[in-house]
Amino acid sequence: MTENTKIAVIGLGGIAQLVHLPNLAKLEKVTVTAVAEINKNRLNTIGDKFNIPERYKDHTELLAKSDAEAVIVATPTSLHKDVSIACLKAGKHVLVEKPLARTFQEAKLITEAAKKYNRKIMVGMNLRYRPDAMILKSILSAGEIGQPFYVKCGWIRRRSSDEKWFTRKIDSGGGVIIDLTILLLDLALWALGFPQVDTVSTQSFYQNTKEVEDTSISLLRCKNSSVISIESSWSLSVEKDQFYFEVFGTNGSSSLNPFRIYKKIDEQMIDLTPSQSDNAIILLRKSYMNELKSFIGAVKGLNPVFSSADESLSRMKIIEAMYKSSSLKKEIKLSL
* 218 touches 181 (CB < 8 A): yes
Pairing of strands 148-156, 197-205: unpaired
Q: What percent of the chain has pLDDT over 90?
A: 90
Do you know the residue count of the chain?
336
Instruction: Identify whether residues 188 and 262 lie together within a single domain.
Output: yes
- At residue 1, the pLDDT reads 41
Instruction: Identify whether residues 76 and 141 lie together within a single domain.
Output: no
Instruction: Identify whether residues 117 and 237 lie together within a single domain.
Output: no
- At residue 334, the pLDDT reads 95
- Per DSSP, the residues of 32-68 read EEEEE-S-HHHHHHHHHHTT-SEEESSHHHHHHH---
CA distance 62 to 241: 38
- Per DSSP, the residues of 71-113 read EEE-S-GGGHHHHHHHHHHTT-EEEEESSS-SSHHHHHHHHHH
Pairing of strands 215-222, 197-205: antiparallel
- Whether 307 maps to a domain, the answer reads no
Q: Kindly report the pTM of this predicted structure.
A: 0.95
Instruction: Identify whether residues 161 and 259 lie together within a single domain.
Output: yes
Q: Count the Cβ atoms, other than its own, within 10 Å of residue 158.
A: 10
With CA atoms as reference, report the closest residue to 260 among 132, 128, 127: 132
Cα angle 237, 231, 317; round to 5: 140
- Whether 12 maps to a domain, the answer reads yes
Cα angle 301, 8, 25; round to 5: 85
CA distance 53 to 47: 7
- pLDDT digit string, tens, across residues 45-75: 999 999 999 999 999 999 999 999 999 999 9
Instruction: Identify whether residues 70 and 164 lie together within a single domain.
Output: no
List, in sequence order, every residue forming a beta bridge with 181; answer none if it has no partner.
Answer: none
Instruction: Identify whether residues 253 and 294 lie together within a single domain.
Output: no
- Whether 77 maps to a domain, the answer reads yes
Q: Domain with 117 in it: what CATH number?
A: 3.40.50.720
CA distance 196 to 188: 12
With CA atoms as reference, report the closest residue to 178 among 255, 258, 111, 98: 98
Q: Domain with 152 in it: what CATH number?
A: 3.30.360.10
Instruction: Identify whether residues 210 and 178 lie together within a single domain.
Output: yes
Collect the ranges in the chain with pLDDT lower than 50: 1
- Whether 40 maps to a domain, the answer reads yes
Report the domain count for the chain: 2
Q: Which domain holds residue 260?
A: 128-279+314-333
* 144 touches 263 (CB < 8 A): yes
- Per DSSP, the residues of 173-209 read S-SHIIIIIHHHHHHHHHHTT-PPEEEEEEEEE-SS-
Pairing of strands 54-56, 30-36: parallel
* 224 touches 195 (CB < 8 A): yes
Instruction: Identify whether residues 16 and 65 lie together within a single domain.
Output: yes
